């Protein structure tokens, strides 16, 4: 079954989005019978990928369609349970790749909540009534403030280790230790307890921020929402930008969006993503920008690219290599960068920039080999050049190629490339590339806004290789053949380590350390074997563990 | 087969240690027929755990027995090959736990090379002639300076991904990206190439520091050794401290050293490590210290504890919980801390302190649940209190217990506890425990050198729980029973994430991110399945990969 990531609130089965002035409510009210796959019921507000796709959509729309919303309150539509986390039967039945992809997307969506709260002034609060367990608590942990009702039964918990022999792997452990800075022995107690914590212990251990009686719960939620709203710099007088449906022509070997296309070669395991540069000029001013709305070229490309990457991740497991190409005018793209740069104060421009940052991070975190081909007709400039810098390898045409007449391949770096789109490690892609060598970046910065030809790009260290027409086809072909001969797992693990040089952040810890351990657990018989805890959960049978410690 | 970690140069089969003045040579000359296990020959200077145990011993002895050695040159005793890395047949035949434990120990030994170079003024240089592949290059990467001969064939390489479908997982990738700061696309090329790099490319890509013709090789090695020696602050006039053989009485359920004992309960999966406090007083001065030599109590305990932990890791896989106890006078232990503090300028004292730092790190990295029990007769003070702070949980006796008369349990923190023994994340255990809350540490520091009773220790956040006599036995028993009911894998992964809050360093990246991915790979059919690359290596058969990307 193909996974479809495109939705909108009219199609939601599991979330309700209520907006009133500067406050929105995102209400989780899962349709038990609305599971994405067969074979399980989404009881107790548990979730599967389908639930998370709606959440992702809602978070996106809140950013663009509701500029005036300053606070988003996450709550449950079912009285007695906030959220029971990822559905266990779903998880137990999923194959390894689906588990890993699901967790990664969930992690990215949790990251989008923090991104909105911390960068965009759209601050999330979790208002917790009832059991808030596992992935449910991980969801709450992604917000800036957790309010727990003190009713003698409502609790927060991470029961994965005790119940399922897996980790709270979508950020849970890392956010407990690094975001909420819970003392390590308390974190150990909490993460190995099925029951978790409620009442004063939850507050004392900093697992929640507020504890309040049931009668005062709604008042406190409102009060906190008002307080957080005062910290927000979102506009009070702007209309939103409606995110219209993406149109995609989907065929077996090709997806075609307006400015992005994906061509699949299943035999070779290669997908080619082609990005079309702008065909219309840069808006004259912000008013024209607002008229363009969701058709503003950078936003349109970001949405299409985002969807294309997600489709490849979930629907094309046999694709091991993604080849990025771009077609258009580098100068035109760099004009878009300059327009963005000149208008960073405007909320909509800011959202477009932040969205590109998130899409580029999603590319960094995609476990396929990423290759950029820079040809004479390419337009890898500014934020599109970040794709080249996010790639594991880049090949650039040197001198003229018969097919393109006099045109030579060039790159243009702009203000977009020097820190505007940090990676998860909080460094720019250039700073990661030239770790500990700031003088090389200064050198590159001298060429800002100027076309850089292949020889110079090579000398500056911006591309992996420049090739003339005689060698080009062979070099690219040989590389692709070699890549497809390697173990896909070894490449996944190698790339996960090579791409993130330098400092680590909570985000890289979640995607690196925590996820890698979670992926390991998802292979271990004690969890996923026929007598493993994840497999046997709900059967009444007890897991039979191999007691050897590894 | 039990692994024995105790050795000395007279027993080495694979290494030669030559010392001459301020320079030592560590020469790898592997005995093909000297493998630790049956079933493989250590061809091409490849290594197994036995080779690494000798290396670990040599590194230790160089620190203590050779105070005047300022530079250690790592080289090969076989002309045409520096080192082919971990023996592949050995690795392919090992079970998962053995692979993981072997890699971890190897990583710790590489870390000990960096520790010596960076902290102790005993600086390692790799003099590379011949092929330096995989773990061989990872060994070279642990040194401060790599000299490669330019003979048209000698090369450095990390062929794991291309040949074996596993990672260069003992630090290789991380040291390439974070220590040598190789540009990520070059790192990608290098780590996916079977042949690696030689000559000018190896130098240009910063994979080595010097490239030199065969005729000038020895001269350059000597020149660099002389240069590095001038940077060292090691003494020029001191005699070494001979590390005599450890005596251990080994029985099925007990190992008994002079000041450390280990009692095993295989049914419950628990090992109890008991440390005896000092029986003799603190040395009067440095002269007396030197007379005590390897019998100096802190050194003796460190050596015994180090060996006990290694034995548990490799020889007792069914032990899931390590319970730490100490018996003696906290005041006496704190006097030892004060003696160390007063003499930090002395090379031998410095070595003892650094060794404790390494032993404590080894405890942090041990994948067993770590528990400290603080009873009225305990002496968890100073560096012994670090064991308590390294534990996942600590239980402290509150008030008097009949068995101990009037004596109450107490802890003493000393100068040892506030940064002298940083964890791999480069924070003290207290700073990691109270991440982002320096005021709590300041509060604790007010109690330095004073006995802290249970109620106060609990209030200061130093212990997980204080219990009176009525509850003690039940609390401890219930905890141990609960712990042993969980999946050992889930606990390993959980503890690996909870123990290292806060910043990451190259070291934590190697033990966290890189090792976790390596452990994952070591479970994947593409590597270890019957048609996996690691299994089939050397058979002439080609691995058959599942091409799905995860």
What pLDDT digit, counting tens, does each position of A428-439 carry?
Answer: 999 999 999 999
Beta bridge partners of A72: A24, A124
Which residue is listed with tokens 């792997």? A169
| pLDDT, average across residues A481-486 | 94
**Exposed/middle/buried for residue B41 (C-beta within 10 Å: 0-12, 13-18, 19+):** middle
Residues of B in contact with A492 (CB under 8 A): 549-550
Check if A166 contacts B (Cβ < 8 Å). Answer: yes
Give the separation between CA A511 and CA A520, rounded to whole angstroms: 13
Q: Does A548 touch chain B (CB under 8 A)?
A: yes
> How many Cβ atoms from other residues are within 10 Å of residue A66's Cβ?
20
Tokens of A150: 């003190």
The closest of B137, B132, B221 to B172, measured between CA atoms, is B137
Task: Indicate yes or no: CB of B391 within 8 angstroms of CB of A160.
Answer: no
Q: What is the mean pLDDT of residues A287-297?
A: 98
| B133 φ/ψ angles, rounded to the nearest 5 degrees | -120, 145
**B264 chain-A contacts, CB cut-off 8 A:** none
Residue in this structure with the two tokens 């302190």, named with its chain if needed = B353
Please give the average per-residue pLDDT across A302-325, as a whole number. 98
Using a CB–CB cutoff of 8 Å, tell me whether B185 touches chain A: yes
Put simply, the answer to whether B192 touches A494 (Cβ < 8 Å) is yes
| Confidence check: pLDDT of B49 > 90 | yes
Average pLDDT, chain B: 97
Token couple for B126: 């790799």
| pLDDT tens figures, A152-165 | 999 999 999 999 99
Residue B77 to residue B129: CA distance in whole angstroms: 10
Mean pLDDT of A4-16: 97
pLDDT of amino acid A420: 97
**Sequence-ordered list of residues with C-beta below 8 angstroms from that of A151, at least 6 positions apart, any chain:** A129, A213, A214
Inter-chain residue contact A550 with B519, CB threshold 8 Å: yes
Here the tokens at position A512 are 């690196």
- CB of A167 within 8 Å of a chain B CB? The answer is yes
Cα separation, B6 vs B9, whole angstroms: 11
What is residue A343's predicted lDDT score, i.e. its pLDDT?
98
Report chain A's mean pLDDT, rounded to a whole number: 97
Q: Do B524 and A489 touch (CB under 8 A)?
A: yes
Interface of A with B in 90-109 (CB under 8 A): 96-97, 100-101
Half-sphere exposure of B169 (CA within 13 A, CB side): 30
ipTM entry: 0.96
Contacts of B309 in chain A (CB under 8 A): none
Distance CA B168, CA B183 (A): 17
Q: Find the radius of gyration of the CA atoms of chain B.
A: 24
Which one of B185, B436, B438 would you mutate to disrupt binding with A, by most A Cβ within 10 Å of its Cβ? B185
Contact residues, B window 370-409, toward A, CB-based 8 Å cutoff: 391-394
Contacts of B219 (CB under 8 A, 6+ apart): none
- For B515, the 3-state DSSP assignment is helix
- Find all residues with CB under 8 Å of B216, minimum gap 6, and list them: none
Is the pLDDT at A545 greater than 90? The verdict is: yes
State the CB neighbour count (10 A cutoff) for residue B219.
10
Nearest to B489 among A165, A317, A437 (CB): A165
Which of B191, B434, B482 lies nearest to residue A498, judging by beta carbons? B191
In the prediction, which pLDDT does B79 show? 86
Degrees, nearest 5: CA angle A466-A472-A473: 155
Q: How many CB pairs under 8 A join A and B?
A: 281
Task: For A520-533, give one letter per residue: b (16+ CB within 10 A) or e.
Answer: bbbbbbbbbbeebb
Per-residue pLDDT, B195: 96
The full 3-state SS of A135-200, as one line of letters, equals: HHHHHHHCCCEEEEECCCCCEEECCHHHHHCCCCCCCHHHHHHHHCCCCHHHHHHHHCCCCCEEHH
Closest approach of chain B CAs to the CA of A485, in angstroms? 9
Q: What is the pLDDT of residue B329?
A: 97
Rounded distance between C-alpha atoms, residue B361 and residue B384, angstroms: 13
| Count of CA atoms in the C-beta half-sphere (13 A) of B368 | 31
Chain B residue with minimum CA distance to A437: B181
Q: Is the pLDDT of residue A1 over 90?
A: no
Model confidence band, residue B315 (pLDDT cutoffs 50, 70, 90): very high
Which 3 state secondary structure label does DSSP give B383?
helix
- Select the residue from A163, A195, A269, A487 to test the B interface by mutation, using most B Cβ atoms within 10 A: A487
- The H or E element that residue B470 is part of is helix B469-485
Show the tokens assigned to B116: 């010596």
Q: Residue B1 above 90 pLDDT?
A: no
Chain B residues within an 8 Å CB radius of A550: 96-97, 100-101, 317, 367, 488-489, 492, 519
Q: What are phi and psi of B44, to 5 degrees?
A: 55, 35
Put simply, the answer to whether B520 touches A493 (Cβ < 8 Å) is yes
Judge: A483–B392 Cβ closer than 8 Å, yes or no.
no
**Residue A300 pLDDT grade (very low, low, confident, very high; cuts 50, 70, 90):** very high
How close, in Å, is residue B519 to chain A by CA atoms? Answer: 7
Considering only CA atoms, which of A354, A350, A270 is closest in space to residue A306? A354
Distance from CA of B425 to the nearest CA of A (A): 11
Of the pLDDT bands very low, low, confident and very high (cuts 50, 70, 90), residue A79 is confident
d(CA B32, CA B46): 8
Alpha-carbon Rg for chain A, nearest whole angstrom, is 24
Strand A210-212 to strand A260-265: parallel, antiparallel, or no bridges (unpaired)?
unpaired
Distance from the A342 Cα atom to the nearest Cα atom in chain B, whole angstroms: 32
Nearest to A521 among B164, B482, B489 (CB): B489
Chain B: closest CA distance from residue A536 (Å)? 13
Q: Which of B30, B29, B38, B34 is nearest to B1 (CA)?
A: B38
| Cβ within 8 Å, pair A96-B188 | no
Give yes or no for residue B21 having a pLDDT over 90. yes
Stretch B113-124: mean pLDDT: 98
Residue range B81-106: mean pLDDT, rounded: 96
* H/E stretch holding B210: strand B210-212
A131/A43 Cα distance (integer angstroms): 13
Task: Average the pLDDT over A372-383 and give the result.
Answer: 98
CA B476 distance to own-chain centroid: 29
Give the Å distances, CA to CA, from A153 to A148, A199, A213: 11, 8, 12
The nearest alpha carbon in chain B to A505 belongs to B503
Strand B249-251 and strand B254-256: the pairing is antiparallel
**Residue A242: exposed, middle, or buried by beta-carbon count in 10 A (0-12, 13-18, 19+)?**
exposed
Q: Which of A246, A238, A215 is nearest to A287 (CA)?
A: A238
What per-residue confidence (pLDDT) applies to A246? 96
| Per-residue tokens: B234 | 């090691």
Average pLDDT, integer, range A51-55: 98
Per-residue tokens: B488? 């050992």
| Record: contact A492-B550, CB cut-off 8 A | yes
The phi and psi torsions of B102 (rounded to 5 degrees) equal -60, -50
CB contact (8 A) between residue A550 and residue B167 = no
> Do residues B40 and B81 lie in contact, with contact meaning Cβ atoms separated by under 8 Å?
no
Please choose, from the candidates A81, A492, A502, the residue with its C-alpha nearest in 3D space to the C-alpha of residue A319: A492
Q: What is the pLDDT of residue B260?
A: 98
Report the residue of chain A nearest B370, measured CA to CA: A185
């Amino acid at each position: 079954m193909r996974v479809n990531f495109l939705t909108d609130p009219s199609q939601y089965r599991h979330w309700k989005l209520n907006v009133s002035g500067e406050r929105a409510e995102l209400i989780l009210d899962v349709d038990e019978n609305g599971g994405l796959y067969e074979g399980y019921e989404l009881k107790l507000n548990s979730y599967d990928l389908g639930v998370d796709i709606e959440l992702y959509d809602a978070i996106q729309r809140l950013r663009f369609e509701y500029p005036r919303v300053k606070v988003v309150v996450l709550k449950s539509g079912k009285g007695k349970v906030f959220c029971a986390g990822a559905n266990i039967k779903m998880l137990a039945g999923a194959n390894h790749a689906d588990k890993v992809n699901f967790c990664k997307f969930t992690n990215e969506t949790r990251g989008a909540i923090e991104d909105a709260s911390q960068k965009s002034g759209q601050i999330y609060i979790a208002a917790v009534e009832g059991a808030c367990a596992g992935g449910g608590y991980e969801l709450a942990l992604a917000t800036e403030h957790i309010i727990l009702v003190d009713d003698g039964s409502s609790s927060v918990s991470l029961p994965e280790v005790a119940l399922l022999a897996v980790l709270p792997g979508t950020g849970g452990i890392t956010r407990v230790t690094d975001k909420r800075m819970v003392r390590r022995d308390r974190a150990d107690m909490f993460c190995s307890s099925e029951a978790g914590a409620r009442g004063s212990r939850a507050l004392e251990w900093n697992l929640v921020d507020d504890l309040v009686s049931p009668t005062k719960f709604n008042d406190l939620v409102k009060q906190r929402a008002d307080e957080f709203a005062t910290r927000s710099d979102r506009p009070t007088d702007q209309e939103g930008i409606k995110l219209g449906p993406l149109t995609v022509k989907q065929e077996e070997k090709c997806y075609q969006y307006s400015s992005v296309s994906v061509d699949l070669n299943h035999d070779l395991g290669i997908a080619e993503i082609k990005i079309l540069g702008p065909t219309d000029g840069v808006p004259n001013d912000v008013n024209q920008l607002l008229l363009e709305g969701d058709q503003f070229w950078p936003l349109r490309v970001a949405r299409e690219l985002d969807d294309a990457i997600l489709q490849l991740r979930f629907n094309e497991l046999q694709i091991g290599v993604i080849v990025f190409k771009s077609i258009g005018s580098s100068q035109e793209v760099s004009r878009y960068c300059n327009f963005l740069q000149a208008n960073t104060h405007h909320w909509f421009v800011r959202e477009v920039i932040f969205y590109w940052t998130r899409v580029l991070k999603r590319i960094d975190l995609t476990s396929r080999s990423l290759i950029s081909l820079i040809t004479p007709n390419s337009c890898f400039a500014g934020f599109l050049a970040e794709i080249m810098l996010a790639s594991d390898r880049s090949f650039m045409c040197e001198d003229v190629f018969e097919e393109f007449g006099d045109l030579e391949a060039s790159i243009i770096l702009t203000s977009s490339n020097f820190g505007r789109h940090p990676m998860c490690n909080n460094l720019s892609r250039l700073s990661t590339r030239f770790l500990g060598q700031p003088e090389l970046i200064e050198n590159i910065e001298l060429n800002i806004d100027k076309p850089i030809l292949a020889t110079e790009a090579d000398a500056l260290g911006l591309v992996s290789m420049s090739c003339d027409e005689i060698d080009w086809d062979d070099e690219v072909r040989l590389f692709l053949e070699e890549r497809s001969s390697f173990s896909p797992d070894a490449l996944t693990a190698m790339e996960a380590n090579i791409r993130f040089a330098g400092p680590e952040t909570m985000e890289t810890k979640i995607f690196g350390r925590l996820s890698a351990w979670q992926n390991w657990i998802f292979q271990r018989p004690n969890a996923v074997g026929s007598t493993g805890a994840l497999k046997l959960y709900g059967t009444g049978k007890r897991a039979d563990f191999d007691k050897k410690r590894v």
